[in-house]
Every structure is written in structure tokens, then in C-alpha cells.
Amino acid sequence: MKILSAAQTRAADAYTIAQEPISSIDLMERASGAVADWLKQKYSPEVPFYFFCGPGNNGGDGMAVARLLHHDGYDVQVFLVETGQNQSADFSQNLERLPQAIPVTNVQTTSDLPAVPLKAVIVDGLFGTGLSRPLEGIYAEVVEYLNQHQGTVVSIDIPSGLFTDAPTPAQTAVIKADYTLTFEQPKLAFLLPASGSYAGEWHVLPIGLHPEFLAQVETPHQLLTHGLIENVLRPRSRFSHKGTFGHALLVGGSYGKMGAITMSAHAALRAGLGLLTVQVPTTGYTILQTAVPEAMVLTDAHEQHLSQFPEDLSKYQCLGIGPGLGQAEDSRLAMESLFRQKLPPLILDADALNLLASDRLLRQNLPANSILTPHPKEFERLTGPATDDFHRLQLLQSFCAEHDCYVILKGAHTCIGTPTEEFFFNTTGNPGMATGGTGDVLTGILTALRAQGYSPLETCQLGVYLHGLAGDIAAEVEGEASLIASDLYKYLGAAFRKIHLNQK
């Protein structure tokens, strides 16, 4: 699913109005109808609704929804916040359409604001994608007042005060919504850490924007959806054998950190791999052979950390390096000499990334099409600090382009950066996964998928989505708080099944 900018949303709107054709006011009615339906499904008519509307089309939506709920027997009130100037045409028309029975209050100062009962739902229709500057004056005061409401706040399209596709300056007034009912596509701001929490739980409501426009519009940002993944995952053919599914080599582990590489190994095997070899320092030999009997084990010459790679790498279809590796000087030198050879596809994680960050020669020699899996701190070590989330996306794009590589920037909505300037945001996963070792599991999954012949992009898309889906299934069974990294490979099979099931 494409993620449109505010300008593209306006263009989609205009295209739909011209080509469907449909009048602007009718399109607003359709959008408002979708919001009203969602609210009616969730709340009974006993729940009072307080609508706060601004001067633009977001305010127009607010009034239309209020009218639709009123007609279905809901108790609604409308508060028009400083809407004297700049009223959009559809705002004015919806103001005229408001039935007399709905109380309307003009809010000029905070003394005009009501005491909102706890059980009431506030609907925020102050500003939408037309926000052109941070909120100030009465608008900021109203937002701060509404943010004190202990009950539920539902934003229409986007929390008021939040910019759709640009950084929202810190310390400015933004509605903190419990729910955001957004039209047609999620907004980029919902997917980024600093702004995402304002949207609360967001739901995408289709409003019938013209499919031709959506098919043609070019946008760098996309959502990783179930539909996309179904087309990537390949079935296993009846006459396949272990050679069909690749032989991968995982390298990592150091004294005190053998668990990381052990979990990567388990995950790789659960991700459909044919054969797995793991190379660990000598201290890890018994641990690996005992914990993961399905894997073959090579030992490093060094007892406690990596000091060399196997000479012959030609039999491996993918090489995953990093979980539990440590950052010994020996290991850095081993990586330098590795990067001078002809290599199978690479997945780099954890300390392999830290070594990369500390060594310019390594970065220069990074093989094309490598997949890197940093969390934000590791990413910062690679690129330097970002001033905000949008700047971080620019850094992601330039790093991928410069090194011709794929970077999986991990987080609540993990973002896959590509050398072709496309970004994919993940939709699976949950806060239960914020626990040690979950990244090591991802490395194992990616290594296995790449070894099976998935392209770098397919590997990133499938790996990230499956990892989060396994996390979601694990959270359903175990609960978020109790989720641990090994649950991710325990439920990986269920995640695969969920995708295959939909394919049939």
C-alpha cells in the first residue's frame, strides 16, 4: 500500500472529484459516513459526543459526522473553534446542513470551552492534512485543553497539529488521540517514532479515492501488507530436497554471548533453510551442538571470539554475521580480509555493524546487495546523528544508495531502505518484542530466506513481516509482557502457515 504525502492526498482528492466524477461535498459525505459507521459500531447512543471543528475540510468532516450520528439518535454537540475566517466551501455547506437540534458553540477563548464528562468521546476535527504551520493561540489552547480529557479522543484523518509528512516541531500543540480514523492511506507521521504515538491506534477507512490515481502515483513510501507478502512467499515443491533450500553459514557468538547466535541458528532452521552451519569460537562448540543439534558447527581458532572465517565460502548461499560477535580487534581484521574475497550474499547485524561503523575501509568494501539490520543506535553509529525522524529517512536513503545495500532500520514500524529509494514500513510486530534477542532471531530468518534464493528485497520484506507476525501470534498466546525472543521462532511456523493459508 502506498503512503501518500499531503500534496498527493489533495491531488487524489481532486482526481477523484474530476474523474469519478463526484462533487467535493459528496466525497466529504462519503468520508464522513465511513467515520460515522466506525463510531456507531464502537459506541452505543448512550455515549455523548463532543465535536471540535476547525475552519477547513477537517472541520467540515467533523460537522458531517456529528449530523450523521445525530440522525441515528446519538447525543452530539459541536464546538467551532475560531472558524470565522478561512472557512472552506464544504465547511460552510456542512454548517448549513447541521440540524437545529444540535447545540453549536463558537469558541473564541478558553472560557467558551465545555466541561467534558469522562464518559464522553471527543472527536477532533480541528485540522487535517491542510495544516500549514504549528498551532498557536486559541487552537493550541484548545488542543492542550482536550489533551487533559481522561476519556477517549478520536481524531479524524490525523491528530490536529501533527504534520502529515514533515517533522512537527517539539513543544508544539498536538492532539494525543486514542484512535485516529484516517482516510484511504496511513500517514507517514504515524509510522515514525516521534510522531507515531500521537495517532494512538489508527484505522484506515477506505473512501473510494480513484484506483487509477492510486495505481499511477509515485511515492517512495510503502506499507508492507499481508497482500504484498502473499505474493512474495513461495510454496515448497513436492520433489524438493534439502539442497533446494540452500546452505547458510552463521558466524557470531563470543564468551558470554553464545545465546545470541544460538537463537539466530534456531530461527534460521525454522525459516525453511535446507542446511545450516554455524561458526563459533571454541568455547561455543558444546553449547551449539547441544542446543541446536540440527546445525553443523565449525570452531574458530580463538577460544572466545571470532578471529577468522572459513577459507572456502563457495558452498554457502548466504553468510549471516554478527549476533553475539563482540568487537575484538581480531574480529575486525577478519572482517577486513573477508571483504576482500568473493562472497556469498551477506546479512550483517549487531557487532558486525559496529565494526563496520568503526572502520571506513570495511564500509568502502561492503559488497553490493548486502542486508544490514541496525536498530536506531547502531544506525546512528553508521551515519551520524539525525536531527529528526524525517532526516533519519534521508540518511537511510543516502546510505543505501552510496553502498548499494539494503538497510532494515528496526523499530515499532521497522523501515526497509533500498538502493532504489523505496522505503517499506512494516505493519506486524508489537511492544512485546522489545526484549533482548529478538533482533538475533531476525538475522537468522533473513539469512535463511536469502540462502533459499529470495532476492535481497524479497528477503527483507518477507523476513521483517514474518518476524513481526510470529511476534503477534506469540503475544496472543503468551501475552506481550512475557514474550521472549525464543517465542519468535517457536511461533514462526504459525506465521508461515497464516500466509500460506491466505494464498490458497
Ligand X SMILES: NC(=O)C1=CN([C@@H]2O[C@H](COP(=O)(O)OP(=O)(O)OC[C@H]3O[C@@H](n4cnc5c(N)ncnc54)[C@H](OP(=O)(O)O)[C@@H]3O)[C@@H](O)[C@H]2O)[C@@H](O)CC1
Annotated binding site for AMP: 410-414, 439
Between 8 and 443, CB nearer to ligand ADP: 443
Query: Helix (H, G, I), strand (E, B), or coil: what is residue 477?
Result: helix
Q: Please say which residue, 59 or 272, places its beta carbon nearer to ligand X.
A: 59
The reply on whether position 124 binds K ion by CB under 5 A is yes
Residue type, 474: A
Is residue 57 part of the contact set for ligand X (CB under 6 A)? yes
Specify the residue, 58 or 77, whose C-beta has the smaller distance to K ion. 58
Q: To which residue does cell 472558524 refer?
A: 83
Q: Does 59 bind ligand ADP (CB under 6 A)?
A: no
- C-beta of 285: minimal distance to ligand ADP in Å? 23
Pull the grid cell for residue 301. Answer: 581458532
The verdict on 327 binding ligand ADP (CB under 6 A) reads no
Q: Return binding residues.
A: 57-61, 124, 128-134, 139, 157, 160, 260, 324, 375, 410-414, 439-440
Length of the chain: 504
Residue 7: other Cβ atoms inside 10 A: 11
d(CA 43, CA 369): 50
Rounded Cα gap, residues 442 and 448, in angstroms: 10
Total residues contacting ligand ADP by CB under 6 A comes to 17
Collect all residues with Cβ–Cβ distance below 8 Å to 479 and sequence separation of at least 6. Answer: 432
CA-CA-CA-CA torsion sign (19, 20, 25, 30): negative
Task: Count CA atoms closer than 13 A to 351's CA, side-chain side.
Answer: 21
- Which of K ion, ligand X, ligand ADP, none interacts with 124 (beta carbon under 5 to 8 A by kind)? K ion
Distances (CA, A) of 307 to 103, 296, 300, 302: 75, 19, 7, 6
Which three-class secondary structure string do you get for 328-394?
CHHHHHHHHHHCCCCCCCEEECHHHHHHHHHCHHHHHCCCCCCEECCCHHHHHHHHCCCCCHHHHHH
Partner touching 27 among ligand ADP, K ion, ligand X, none, CB below 5 to 8 Å by kind? ligand X
Q: Of residues 88, 264, 279, 443, which one binds ligand X by CB under 6 A?
A: 88
The contact mask relative to K ion for 20-59 (x = CB under 5 A, - = no) is: --------------------------------------x-
Q: Is 410 in the site for ligand ADP (CB under 6 A)?
A: yes
Tell me how far the alpha carbon of residue 325 is from its chain's centroid: 27
Range list of H helices, 359-484: 360-364, 376-383, 389-403, 438-451, 456-478
Q: Which of residues 198-227 bind ligand X (CB under 6 A)?
A: 207, 209
Site for ligand ADP in 426-485 (CB under 6 A): 429-431, 433-434, 436-440, 442, 467
Query: Is 489 one of the binding residues for ligand X (CB under 6 A)?
Result: no
Contact 424, 461 (CB under 8 A): yes
Q: Whose CB is nearest to ligand ADP? A: 439
| Residue 16: CB atoms within 10 Å | 23
155 binds, among K ion, ligand X, ligand ADP, none (CB under 5 to 8 A by kind): K ion
Angle between helices 456-478 and 438-451 (to 10 degrees): 140
Q: Which of ligand X, ligand ADP, K ion, none does residue 57 bind (CB under 5 to 8 Å by kind)?
A: ligand X
Annotated binding site for K(+): 58, 124, 160
Q: Per CB under 6 A, does 56 bind ligand X?
A: yes
Quick one: which of 5, 9, 83, 373 contacts ligand X (CB under 6 A)? 9
* Least distance (Å) between residue 378 CB and ligand ADP: 8
The identity of residue 18, as a single letter, is A
Residue 58: name the closest of 221, 175, 214 by CA: 175
Cell numbers of 386, please? 539525525
User: For residue 208, what are the β-bridge partners?
Assistant: none
Choose among K ion, ligand X, ligand ADP, none what residue 412 binds, the Cβ cut-off being 5 to 8 Å by kind. Answer: ligand ADP
Nearer to ligand ADP, 137 or 431 (CB): 431
Backbone angles phi, psi at 171, to 5 degrees: 70, 10
Binding mask 132-171 for K ion (x = CB under 5 A): -----------------------xx---x-----------
Q: Hunting for cell 535481497 — which residue is that?
A: 456
Q: Which among ligand ADP, K ion, ligand X, none contacts residue 77 (Cβ within 5 to 8 A by kind)?
A: none
CB of 214 to ligand X, least distance (A): 11
Q: Which residues form the interface with ligand ADP (CB under 6 A)?
A: 375, 410-412, 414, 429-431, 433-434, 436-440, 442, 467
Q: Which residues form the interface with K ion (CB under 5 A)?
A: 58, 124, 155-156, 160
Q: Which residues form the interface with ligand X (CB under 6 A)?
A: 9, 12-13, 27-28, 31, 54-61, 86, 88, 127-135, 139, 156-157, 183-184, 207, 209
